[in-house]
Structure formats: structure tokens, C-alpha cells
A and B are shown apart, each in its own frame.
Chain A
Amino acid sequence: MDKKTCCSENNPFFIDYPGRIRSIQEAMARDGFDVYLGSRLRTISWTTDAFCPWRSYIVIPREGVPTLFTFVIDASRVADDTWLPEDNVRGYAPLGGQDQITQISDFILYALKIKKGRLAYETGLSNYTPEGNLSQYEYEMFTAALPDFEFVNAHIIADKLSLIKDEGTVNRFRQASRYTDIGHETVRSALVDGGWRGKTETEIAGIAEHAMRQAGSEWAWSFTAGNEIASGYRTGYAGGACTPATRRELQPGDSLMVDLHSMYRLGLGDYAYNYLIAPVTDRMRWHARNYLDVVRMCLDNYKEGATPLGLANMVMAMAEERGFVEYVVPGFEHGIGMMGDEWRIGLNTGPIKYWTDPNHSYRAGEMLICAVQYACPDENIGFRYECPILIRENDCELMARFPLDVEEIE
């Protein structure tokens, strides 16, 4: 789908980007900011509709169209992808006056003609490497280049506005989940009836990726290694939430974790499905039932007003009662938004700064990844569930249509 089609209001994937900018500018006016300097990947995606893998910055004035700054080698491509006018995408380069600090500060001073005032910037803490908070060096250089500005950490503006997902965003997530559905169907077809024999984790990742790319996925976006595949003992890492595919060949009696990632216009697909390769013991089935019951309990209870802590208490009580509490990672979701918006649930309101607020009360329209990790390292077995969900008033919508199961294959 080309850019112009997707920019039509009648398009299901339409997002009102100028409206998003206006909402930021209204917040800036309310909070007394003259300019917003966004540097986090989540802010860049949410405001530009472009994938910006290089260090990028968006400068949003109180009025008018923002300007994006990215590495010069990628600026023309970004300009082609974004809704922003071509002249509002600038490339920085290691040339006099064109480094990112000088170019952006000159732009604010001489192009926007804002000589002094309050500047909103983004900093904080993240467990997510590509978060994009302003670095200490950048902060020092910008404050030196813009001496008459008061710098105020104001990421809360973008965080609040991006919390509830609009229809176009949700539809992009739905489309991305179609891709993971296709990837899983293809992997399943390749594994059943003995097809698993001789296959490696990397090969399975590639089979899925090929199918999803054929369908239109732009990228297996996960920073945790694209399509994550684990087999045998590797499924049982304690807390094992990151499993880059290896050259390990599948073996009889293995558990197999297939966690696929896709992207459609910065909307993200993320679905994990699990197999047990024959011969399967009763003990393995017991673990599988435990895992499935945890997932079902989570999915049955996500709705407006639920909280991460409430859900965790409920699930862990069940796990304690049934004797498998030590195998359950006691957190069942992570945040999600357009590319770069990952991990923390809700806003920065928790007792441990920049981590999920355990008492965050979900609102209809929020999205998250239901993420269940069940691992028994001593028995070399584990399972993972991940699925993007949309919180609704009385329940949640699962973006993926692929079934929930632990499938036994011969």
C-alpha cells in the first residue's frame, strides 16, 4: 500500500498524524513549552510514521509542522516514508554545521527563530537498549548550544498521548498479527509428520521469516533477535525471555518454542507457540497443562480496571495451589506501542521508576503483549506465550488468530 493511500481517512490503517502533533502542541502550550525535542524511538515512530533505525530527533514547535532529523544517508528514504513534507526531514552528517547538535540547535535558533524559552526533552531509564533517551553528552552539548533555554524532562507528554491506541494503530497491529499467523501456519506445516527431523532453530526462524515476508511483513522487529526459537534445554532457561535462534538441531523429546515477530507500518506482531516433540512424557504434559492454564487465566482476566499486580496475585495463587509456582515468571505482560514503544506498562507512575506500575489500572484502548514465561530448568523444559492484546471494557481482543496450545508432534 502506498503512502498516499494509507494517508486517506477511509483507509483502515489511517492515523491522524497532524492531529497527534496538534495534541502534543496543545500539551506544550498548557505546560509552557516553546519547543519539544523528542529523541526516543517510540516518540519518533508515533509522530512521523517512519521507521528510523538511526539516531533521530524530532523538533516540534508550539505551532506548525515538526521537523525530523536523522542520519543523512537515510534521510531521503525516511522523507519518502513519513507524512512530513520533504523539507521537514533533515539529515545530519559529520560536516561543519551539520552534526546533530549544531544542526538542531541552529534550526531552533535560526529557522524556528526561537531564541530562548522552555525546551521539552526526553530522558529517563529503560531496560530496552534502543529506548533513545537523550544521552548525557547530548544533553550537555544541547544545553551549551542553547544557553537561554530551560531544559525540562517532559516525555510524559508523548507517553500520555500514546497510551490509548487509535483505530488505525490497532488495525496495523491486527495486520501484523496476520503475518505471525501465516508464519506459524508455515512452521507448523514444516514440522508435522516428521518434518522436524534435521531442522535447526535458525532454519525454523528462516522458514517463518520467509513466509511472513512473502505475506508482507516488513521486519521481525524484536530487538531480542527477530524470530526467537528455542528447543530442548534452551526452552527452560530461568526467566528465559530472550532466545535468539541457534544452530541446535531438534531432537526427539524436545520442547520447542517458536516466537515470531512481524511488522506492518510500525504496528507489531508477536506470537509465541509451543510444541512437544515425541516421545512426550506425562511429566511434560503436566508442565504443558500448567502453562496453558496460566495463559488462559491471564487472557480471561484482562479487561478495563484490571491491574498487573491483581493478575499476578491471581495467577501465582493458582500456581502455588497446584504446585508449580517456582516455574512461573511472576509477570504476565509487557507494554507495546508503535515500533520502539516496548516494555513498560502504562505511565511512569510506579514505585520503581521507569518500570511497570503494578497497580496500573488498564483502560479500554490500551494495548499490551500478554507474555507468559514458564520454565523448569532442571527438567530442560519451558514454554512461552506472547500475543498482542487490546484491552476492552469487559475483556480483551487477541490480535493473533493462531490457536493457544502446546502441540505434540511425532
Chain B
Amino acid sequence: MEDNLKYLSPSWRDEVYKRLSAELDPEKMNHATTSLVSVYRNCPDGKDRYFLVSCTDGVIEDVSVGEGEPPEAEFSIFGDYDVLARMSRGELGAQGALMSGKLKLRGNMVKALKLSSLADRLNRVIATIPTEF
């Protein structure tokens, strides 16, 4: 890949889907069926955006980005663009961001704890994508 991909752009989305599908097989995804939408408040252009990942039986099914009202998902994470971008760059851990109240999680916390290792795996793959924030 020659150039950095713009964060949350369609091309970045395509690359996320490609890498997640290639690097995280159903075994590595613990055959999980779930969905997570990250809702970015106060993006640099002033808009709100979302980034959705869903999987069924461990198979990545949908990766989407968009503006405005986010789709329904089993888990929703709300935060400022800066916070979520720092997480995508590996500069900030999800747990620390949640404990400090910088992020807000909506969904079943008990199930989220069980799935937290998967979220870490997703983020590690996403962090490998050359990205322009």
C-alpha cells in the first residue's frame, strides 16, 4: 500500500474488512456472534461518524462506516473522535478510556468482558493499517 488511508473513509473501511477477514479466522474470533459500533463525536469536520464491525460465528460479516445516526448493534461505544483515534493508533487502551469516562459503553457489560479479548485482537489488526488521522 503506497499511501496512508484516510481514517473512517470507504477505502479505509475496505482495508479493515480485508485484513480482519484474512487475519482473524473463526477460531481466533472464538466463533463469536456479536456487533460493535463505535460512534465518533466531534470529528475534525464537525460531523458525527460511526464504525461498525459485526461477525457471525466468528466470521467477519460487516464492516461499515458512515455519518449520522449509527446502526443498532449489540454494543455501542461513544466517544470523541480524538479519543477513539488515539485508541486506533494504539496510544490509549479501551479500559483506561472507559474507566476515565472518556468513552461510554452501552450494552451487556458481563458479555463485553467476555468479548474484550476479541476487541483487542480487532484493534491490533486495525492498528497495522497505514492511516491518516
Chain A interfacial positions (CB closer than 8 Å to B): 72, 75-76, 79, 86-87, 89-98, 102-103, 106, 110
B104 part of interface (Cβ distance < 8 Å):
yes
Q: CB within 8 A of B98: which of A76, A79, A95?
A: A95
Contact B98 A98 (CB under 8 A): yes
Tell me which residues across on chain A come within 8 A of B78, comparing CB atoms.
Answer: 96-97
Minimum C-beta distance from A55 to chain B (A): 15
| A79 in contact with B110 given A95-B99, A98-B98 (CB within 8 Å) | yes
Is A96's CB under 8 angstroms from B109's CB?
Answer: no
Question: Which residues from 98 to 126 on chain B have a C-beta closer than 8 Å to any C-beta of chain A?
Answer: 98-106, 108-111, 113
Q: Which of A89, A90, A91, A102 contacts B104 (CB 8 A)?
A: A102
Contact A95 B109 (CB under 8 A): yes
**Contact A72 to B109, CB < 8 A, known contacts A96-B104, A97-B104:** yes
B108 to A, closest residue via Cβ: A90
Report chain A residues within 8 Å CB of B99.
94-96
Partner among A72, A89, A97, A103 whose Cβ is within 8 Å of the Cβ of B113: A72
Q: Which residue of A lies closest to B100 (CB)?
A: A96
A89 to B109, CA, bound (A): 9
Looking at the complex, which one of B79, B103, B110 makes contact with A76 (CB distance below 8 Å)?
B110
Contact of B109 among A86, A90, A110 (CB under 8 A): A90
A282 to chain B, nearest CB (A): 64
A366 to B111, CA, bound (A): 40
Q: How many residues of B contact A (CB 8 A)?
A: 18
Bound: A93/B101 CA distance, A: 11
Chain A residues contacting B101 (CB-CB under 8 Å) are 95-96
- For window 29-63 of B, CB contacts with A under 8 Å fall at none
Instruction: Tell whether B85 is near chain A: CB-to-CB under 8 Å.
Output: no
Q: For the complex, is B87 an interface residue (Cβ under 8 Å from A)?
A: no
Please name the 9 residue pairs, one residue from A and one from B, whose CB atoms are nearest each other, closest first: A97-B104, A95-B98, A96-B104, A96-B101, A97-B105, A91-B109, A75-B110, A91-B110, A96-B103
Restricting to B72-111, which residues have a CB under 8 Å from any CB of A? 78-79, 95, 97-106, 108-111
Residues of B within 8 A of A90 (CB): 108-110
Quick one: closest B residue to A78, CB to CB? Answer: B110
Residue of B with least CB distance to A99: B101
B111 touches A103 (CB 8 A): no
Residue on A nearest B74 in the bound complex, by CB: A87
When C-beta atoms are compared, the residue in chain B nearest to A72 turns out to be B109
Q: How far is the CA of A87 from the CA of B114 in the complex (A)?
A: 12
Interface pairs (14), CB distance under 8 Å: A72-B113, A79-B110, A86-B110, A89-B110, A91-B110, A91-B113, A95-B95, A96-B78, A96-B97, A96-B98, A96-B103, A98-B98, A98-B105, A102-B104
B95 nearest in chain A by CB position:
A95
Which residues of the partner chain A approach B97 to less than 8 Å between Cβ atoms? 96
CB neighbours of B106 from chain A (8 A): 97, 103, 106, 110
Instruction: List, in ascending order, chain B residues with CB within 8 A of A97's CB.
Output: 78, 98, 103-106
Nearest chain-B residue to A110 (Cβ)? B106
CB contact under 8 A between A75 and B98, given known A96-B103, A97-B78, A97-B104: no
